[in-house]
Amino acid sequence: MFSWSEVGGALRPAVMGVVNVTPDSFSDGGRFLDPDAAVAHGLELVAVGADLLDIGGESTRPGATPVDAAAEWRRIEPVITRLAAEAGVPVGVDTTKAVVAERALRAGARIVNDVSAGRFDPEMLRVVAAYGAGYVAMHMRGDPRTMQDDPRYDDVVGEVGDFLVERAEAALAAGIGDGAIALDPGIGFGKTTTHNLTLLAHLDRLVGRVQRPVVIGTSRKRFIGRVLAGVGGEHDEPPAERRDDGTLATTVWAAQCGVRVVRVHDVLGAVRALALLEVLATVEAA
């Protein structure tokens, strides 16, 4: 039975390295569509310190074209199978489909990262429970096609917290292990830049509210580009591949807020920053 207590250090979050086996992911689409390239990338992320890997075969970026289960599985099968055998760290599958999750778990994956929190496929929670797998339930407004159409909240931190607590209860009721459930506020999923920044600013409150391991995925997301436009002499929003520095600031912030897992593309940067933070946390008072 997977438990989130297996991953990461006592004083720092675990680093989840992203491997997108897709043609259209917003920051690395097309780079790792070839299985050999994806496996090599996953192994490289582990070599620089990833505590776990998250492998996805369908982009969830706003407006992405949905793929059917067979096509999604074809993309990730060789990558999951080989990384589960070779990586030496727990491998997760980023999917909303129970049939893809089940195949991945059979192939050796140990975690299901479900951006729909079990809302898209009624079989999902049962499958995760049957395999004793870890589960990430993420908050999203609507679905990726429509989620950025004028999202509104009265109290984004409260509403996201309530949703996550409700989904954790559903996961528990379906038989998923108590220690296997993690929750994610879903940065960028049905949220404006202000909503994303509000969630991050009050992340400590959310962590306290849900009373379970929290996963956060800020890596290279649009709100970072928005904040950095005009900073450092740059007029335009920096594109995804130049948002790792901004990502790192949010990683350090999230660690200080008590998150359990950070989901990032630039694993080395996160590992180095968190190593510094860990040392600072243990320095004796002068």
109 touches ligand HH2 by CB under 6 A = no
For this structure, is 221 an active site residue? Answer: yes
For this structure, is 263 an active site residue? Answer: yes
* Region near ligand HH2 per CB under 6 A, out of 53-61, 65-73, 154-162, 196-204: 53-61
Q: Sign (positive/negative) of CA torsion 216, 72, 222, 141?
A: negative
Interaction residues for ligand HH2, span 211-240 (CB under 6 A): 215, 217
Write down the least CB distance from residue 282 to ligand HH2, Å: 29
Is the Cβ of residue 67 or residue 136 nearer to ligand HH2 in the bound state? 136
Residue of the chain from 8, 14, 15, 26 that contacts ligand HH2 (CB under 6 A): 26
Contacts of 89 (CB under 8 A, 6+ apart): 7, 46, 50, 51, 52, 53
Distance separating alpha carbons of residues 266 and 244, to the nearest angstrom: 7
Neighbours of 101 (CB within 10 A): 28
**Active-site choice (221, 222, 243, 260):** 221
* Region near ligand HH2 per CB under 6 A, out of 77-85, 160-168, 179-187, 278-286: 179-187
Distance separating alpha carbons of residues 264 and 248, to the nearest angstrom: 9
Question: Phi/psi at 137 (nearest 5 deg)?
Answer: -105, 120
Nearest to 40 by CA among 52, 32, 48: 32
In the block, residue with structure tokens 């993690």: 182
187 touches ligand HH2 by CB under 6 A = yes
Determine the size of the site formed for ligand HH2 (CB under 6 A).
Answer: 21
Query: Mind telling me the catalytic residues?
Result: 221, 263
Binding site for ligand HH2 (CB under 6 A): 18, 20, 22, 25-27, 56, 59-61, 94, 113, 115, 136, 138, 184, 186-187, 215, 217, 263
